[in-house]
Amino acid sequence: MAERRAFAQKISRTVAAEVRKQIAGQYGGSPQLFKNLNVGTTSSNTVPLTEAVEPVDFEEYLITHPPIVESGPLRDLIEFPPDDIEVIYTPRDCRTVVQAVPEEGDTDPHVRDCARSYTEDWAIVNRKYHKLSTGFNPNTLDKQKERQKGLPKQVFEADEMPDSSSYQDDQDDLKRRSMSIDDTPRGSWACSIFDLKNSLPDALLPHLLDRAPNEEIDRHNEEQRKTSRNRELFALHPAPDEEDPIERHCVPEVPKEHFGQRLLVKCLSLKFEIEIEPIFASLALYDVKEKKKISENFFFDLNSEQTKAMLRPHIQTAAISTLARSAIFSITYPSQDIFLVIKLEKVLQQGDIGECAEPYMVFKESDAAKNKEKLEKLRSQSEQFCQRLGRYRMPFAWTAIHLMNIVNSAGSLERDTELEMSLSERKGSWSERRNSSIMGRRSLERTTSGDEACSLTGFRPATLTITNFFKQEGDRLSDEDLYKFLADMRRPSSVLRRLRPITAQLKLDISPAPENPHYCLTPDLLQVKPYPDSRVRPTREILEFPARDVYVPNTTYRNLLYVNPQSLNFANRQGSARNITVKVQFMNGEDPNNAMQVIFGKSSCADFYKEAYTAVVYHNRSPDFHDEIKIKLPASLSDHHHILFTFYHVSCQQKQNTPLETPVGYTWIPMLQNGRLRTGHFCLPVSLEKPPQSYSVLSPDVPLPGMKWVDNHRGVFNVELVAVSTIHTQDQYLDKFFALVHALDEHVFPVRIGDMRIMENNLETELKSSIAALTSAQLEPVVRFLHLLLDKLVLLVVRPPVIAGQIVNLGQASFEVMASVVNRLHKYLDTSQDIHGRNSLLSSYIHYVFRLPSTDPNSPSPGPGGLGGSVHYATMARSAVRPASLNLSRSRSLSNSNPDISGTPTSPDDEVRSIIGSKGLDRSNSWVHTMGCSAP
């Protein structure tokens, strides 16, 4: 046999299968080791040699096996710092001078919880040694921007692009220079001498020829190099892009009140051809596409002091808040379909709107001397009407401004350019007038595409002069008629040509609202910081009615109600009721003295009144209304709170033995129905007689005996109630849940919720069903009351309530609802998530709002709910005193929601043993898992 080579003799001839058997036997057949050693080989039919091992409960292992650390210099590196985590209570910033809180002292528990949620300090978990962790990076983007602010911008010759205008100037200069060369006898030599004599000398270099040692020169050069040098050179370099291994938790945004894009409108002047009586104006925003009014009314008064004096018998001392002539509008969803509508009213007088507006359309200011006697007669008649009918108004005129047209036009003009809409432009369609009246305007269809292109923050302030007003038609006062007119303004139409114009001049300043305006009042008439002097004419913030839902939690107390009378049909009513006005009162009982002074004033009047009157349409038995009555709701409502509508016929012509007001009907709306605030559209019957005693607890739809009704008790009065409240959820599922939870707080039975009377023995069943029904609640109210809702659910998880002497375990149901809420927020509000998929609303709640309820059941809890009443909750902590409601001889029945509880515990130790007895600790109710569910 041939001799093998040396390297071949060292090759192992062992078969691979034998090696695998040898290794498997050596390591006890461990599948994991067998897999690790068989790199490069695969086996589809692997048979495990050992049984699967159940993973170790890490938390339990740490509790039962504490680390044994010997004392030494490196002990601090092994142990977790015990003082790393601390809870800091930081006062929340209040944007108003006085914090918005309920005025009533004795309020129900839900109002107290809401007020506490809107005023308590932020509970922030601070980690002292966070900067020492590996994931901490001090070189954040914000800090880099701060460092780069003071750096000079480096511009090199290669970066500079020649300007076309400068290039053209150089060419013109070259042409002029060539002409001068041709004119001179010596050509370029003469031109060079001329340029040399007219050129400026270069600056002298000081100390250029001075002798200096080399050391001094080096020192000087070193100091020059250190000038403006940034010490943190490498910190200026942007941080590298980080992959998934490093997850940075940014500090969430502080919960705050929602504002859209803000627009400042200043009303400068309002002038007519003749000035014979006071004129009252209002502004509001309308969205034509959504067919919705998206702001409350802003009332302003531009009358002269001489004209205001005509109403002195009817007007009290004007409050400073009603003298505002500037308003800040908020628009969350700006679009091309938003109009700023201006409506004018005048004092009621004898005659329809056309007759009363005729002098404004006929007389001219230039003919004042020629028509002096006629004007004096008109002025004398106006004074008589103001003295007798000064409290009543009648519609007069209106106009509208296409908001985005003004914004886009102002963006292309200079700062002080005036945009004018003249009377002559009313001859054509709105599109033609728009193209001819404003210089430099562009078509919105060409410059923007969709609502996302609309912006109210970058345009230049502009002064708008409006010289076009339409006479108000008495039979076209409804919002539906207004939406039709506004839609016609955007397209060529003959409808507007039939409207008679009134010559007037209204000047407005429109600009983006500053970030922190001075002398500003909230819609609740609270002063906004800064407010240096309370005697200065303020600017009013106008409350927004968003066109679509806004998903932002409530952070401030607000409780407003808007009453919008729409129409009345007295065609079948017998009698001579024609000049009809509606007196609106918010009542706390049936007595006339129970009218509450909670109705907001309009302009040049008091802050609040006890009643408000709608405008009168002369000689109309079925009038439409366009009034908006704003009411400050009491924090706590009872069954006796209601809105009383009294219908009057107003005698415009003074006659002997004829009263000024004659009541012709009554109706009302109870504020509460089954404990819930009533809002929405109502079609109410009208009674011919005064309501009987205790009528406020009944609806006018109930046929009361012995009462006479208009049109056989049919609905003849249409009205709408709109609530903007951070107290009333306006959702039946949330209302029921909060009512049952507060029934636990008060521990007063029976509890009436809706049509049900809930006793203590069936409270547990109703509470469980209400918790499960929270998944059916609308998302918008859930988000608005998110903080309070999560507080209550966490409270039910951590501290199970004691009902009828039994501990009721609602932890699982509450935990499932919290998971459902978190899932809905992530699913439907995915745009408010960060790069790691965390919902911003939940992050803000965890970081600022959440706090663990107190473990002492007998002390008021600083956490969710603030439960300090007679209700008591079970707790896992030792307590020397048992809850007072846990009466051992009272009941021995088992709770049907937790079969693991074998009976009523007799001591804290028995309670703990009964809960963790056979199945171990129920971790679904632990604080750690609750945090994990709520955390985004």
| Rounded-to-integer distance, Cα 152 and Cα 697, Å | 74
Would residue 726 be called left, alpha or beta, if left means φ above 0 and alpha means ψ between -120 and 50 degrees? alpha
pLDDT in tens, 40-60: 444 445 555 566 677 788 778
| Rounded-to-integer distance, Cα 612 and Cα 262, Å | 30
Whether 166 has a pLDDT exceeding 80, the answer reads no
User: Per-residue DSSP letters for 62-81?
Assistant: HHHS------STTHHHHSPP
Whether 117 has a pLDDT exceeding 70, the answer reads yes
- The mean-pLDDT minimum among 584-598, 654-668, 746-760 falls in 746-760
Q: Which residue has the higher pLDDT, 84 or 31?
A: 84
Structure tokens at 64: 């039962």
Q: What's the whole-number average pLDDT of the chain?
A: 79
Tell me what the mean pLDDT of segment 8-27 comes to.
58
Q: Which residue has the higher pLDDT, 893 or 279?
A: 279
Would you state the pLDDT for residue 119? 94
What global pTM score does this model have? Answer: 0.76
Would you state the pLDDT for residue 347? 95
Query: Closest Cα to residue 240, out of 139, 142, 151?
Result: 139
Residue 763 confidence class, pLDDT cut points 50, 70, 90:
confident
Q: Strand 520-521 to strand 539-542: parallel, antiparallel, or no bridges (unpaired)? A: parallel
Whether 442 has a pLDDT exceeding 80, the answer reads no
Number of residues assigned to the chain: 936
Answer for the pair 773, 820: CB distance below 8 angstroms, yes or no.
no
The three-class DSSP label of residue 109 is helix
Q: Which amino acid, residue 763?
A: L
Tell me what the mean pLDDT of segment 267-293 comes to.
95
| Rounded-to-integer distance, Cα 238 and Cα 794, Å | 42
**Under 8 Å CB-to-CB from 547, ≥6 apart: which residues?**
287, 290, 292, 294, 332, 333, 335
Would you state the pLDDT for residue 201? 81
Structure tokens at 415: 């700062």
| Rounded-to-integer distance, Cα 728 and Cα 788, Å | 12
Q: Which residue has the tokens 């969709």?
A: 450
Whether 435 has a pLDDT exceeding 50, the answer reads no
pLDDT in tens, 380-420: 999 999 999 999 999 999 999 999 888 877 655 444 455 55
Residue 212 confidence class, pLDDT cut points 50, 70, 90:
confident
The three-class DSSP label of residue 145 is helix
Structure tokens at 600: 């907001």
Q: Which residue has the tokens 């302003």?
A: 300
Residue 34: its H or E element: helix 31-37
Q: What is the percent of the chain where pLDDT is above 90?
A: 47
Would residue 779 be called left, alpha or beta, if left means φ above 0 and alpha means ψ between -120 and 50 degrees? alpha
User: Per-residue DSSP letters for 464-482?
Assistant: EEEEEEEEPPTT--SHHHH
Q: How far is CA 302 from CA 299, 325, 507, 509, 799, in A?
A: 10, 8, 11, 14, 60
Q: How far is CA 314 from the centre of its chain?
A: 38
Structure tokens at 762: 């069936």
| Rounded-to-integer distance, Cα 185 and Cα 893, Å | 126
Q: Which amino acid, residue 302?
A: L
**HEC string of 166-202?**
HHHHHHHHHHHHHHHHHHCCCCHHHHHHHHHHHCCCC
**How far is the first Cα of the chain from the last one, in angstroms, to the nearest whole number?**
77
Q: Which residue has the higher pLDDT, 139 or 573?
A: 573
Would you state the pLDDT for residue 631? 98
Would you state the pLDDT for residue 530? 94
Cβ neighbour number for residue 725 with a 10 Å cutoff = 19
**Under 8 Å CB-to-CB from 879, ≥6 apart: which residues?**
856, 857, 858, 908
Q: Strand 802-803 to strand 599-600: parallel, antiparallel, or no bridges (unpaired)? A: unpaired
Q: Which residue has the higher pLDDT, 157 or 809?
A: 809
Q: Strand 672-673 to strand 680-684: parallel, antiparallel, or no bridges (unpaired)? A: unpaired
DSSP, res 309: G
The three-class DSSP label of residue 848 is helix
- The mean-pLDDT minimum among 96-105, 151-160, 337-346, 380-389 falls in 151-160
Backbone angles phi, psi at 449, to 5 degrees: -140, 100
Tell me what the mean pLDDT of segment 306-320 comes to.
89
- CA-derived radius of gyration, the chain: 39
Q: Which residue has the higher pLDDT, 144 or 568?
A: 568
Residue 341: its H or E element: strand 338-347
Whether 168 has a pLDDT exceeding 90, the answer reads no
Would you state the pLDDT for residue 892? 33
Tell me what the mean pLDDT of segment 644-666 comes to.
91
DSSP, res 746: H
Would you state the pLDDT for residue 292? 95
Query: Closest Cα to residue 730, out of 805, 691, 679, 770?
Result: 679
Across-strand partners of 300? 281
DSSP, res 2: P
Whether 652 has a pLDDT exceeding 60, the answer reads yes
Q: Strand 661-670 to strand 642-650: parallel, antiparallel, or no bridges (unpaired)? A: antiparallel
**HEC string of 561-610?**
EEEEEEEECCCCCCCCCCCEEEEEEEECCCCHHHECCCEECCCCCCCEEC
Whether 163 has a pLDDT exceeding 80, the answer reads no
Answer for the pair 301, 308: CB distance below 8 angstroms, yes or no.
yes
Tell me what the mean pLDDT of segment 342-366 comes to.
90
Would you state the pLDDT for residue 653? 85
Would you state the pLDDT for residue 776? 95
Residue 933 confidence class, pLDDT cut points 50, 70, 90:
very low
Residue 364 confidence class, pLDDT cut points 50, 70, 90:
confident
Whether 242 has a pLDDT exceeding 90, the answer reads no
Would you state the pLDDT for residue 889? 31
Tell me what the mean pLDDT of segment 599-626 comes to.
95
Whether 185 has a pLDDT exceeding 80, the answer reads no
Whether 325 has a pLDDT exceeding 90, the answer reads yes
Structure tokens at 653: 């012509």
Tell me what the mean pLDDT of segment 251-276 comes to.
94
| Rounded-to-integer distance, Cα 578 and Cα 479, Å | 22
Angle, CA 741 vertex, CA 740 and CA 743 arms, to 5°: 60
pLDDT in tens, 452-470: 457 788 888 989 999 889 9
The three-class DSSP label of residue 819 is helix
- Could you give the domains of the chain? 18-86 (no CATH), 261-542 (2.60.40.150), 559-725 (2.60.40.150), 732-934 (no CATH)
Answer for the pair 541, 521: CB distance below 8 angstroms, yes or no.
yes
Whether 235 has a pLDDT exceeding 80, the answer reads no
The H-assigned helical ranges of 621-665 are: none
Would you state the pLDDT for residue 208? 77
Q: Which residue has the higher pLDDT, 774 or 41?
A: 774
Tell me what the mean pLDDT of segment 907-934 comes to.
40
Cβ neighbour number for residue 311 with a 10 Å cutoff = 19
Q: Which residue has the higher pLDDT, 576 or 145?
A: 576
DSSP, res 873: B
CA dihedral (277, 283, 287, 290) positive or negative:
negative
Would you state the pLDDT for residue 694? 87
Across-strand partners of 527? 521
pLDDT in tens, 547-591: 999 999 999 999 999 999 999 999 888 877 889 999 999 999 999
The three-class DSSP label of residue 752 is strand
Would you state the pLDDT for residue 517? 94
Residue 443 confidence class, pLDDT cut points 50, 70, 90:
very low
| Rounded-to-integer distance, Cα 113 and Cα 741, Å | 11
The three-class DSSP label of residue 33 is helix
Q: How far is CA 251 from the centre of its chain?
A: 21
Q: What share of the chain is helix, strand, coil (3-state, %, to 5)?
A: 30, 20, 50
Whether 29 has a pLDDT exceeding 60, the answer reads no
| Rounded-to-integer distance, Cα 619 and Cα 577, Å | 8
Across-strand partners of 753? 756
Q: Which residue has the higher pLDDT, 874 or 201?
A: 201
Q: Which residue has the higher pLDDT, 527 or 151?
A: 527
Tell me what the mean pLDDT of segment 688-708 comes to.
90
Q: What is the percent of the chain where pLDDT is above 70?
A: 71
The H-assigned helical ranges of 829-926 are: 840-844, 908-916
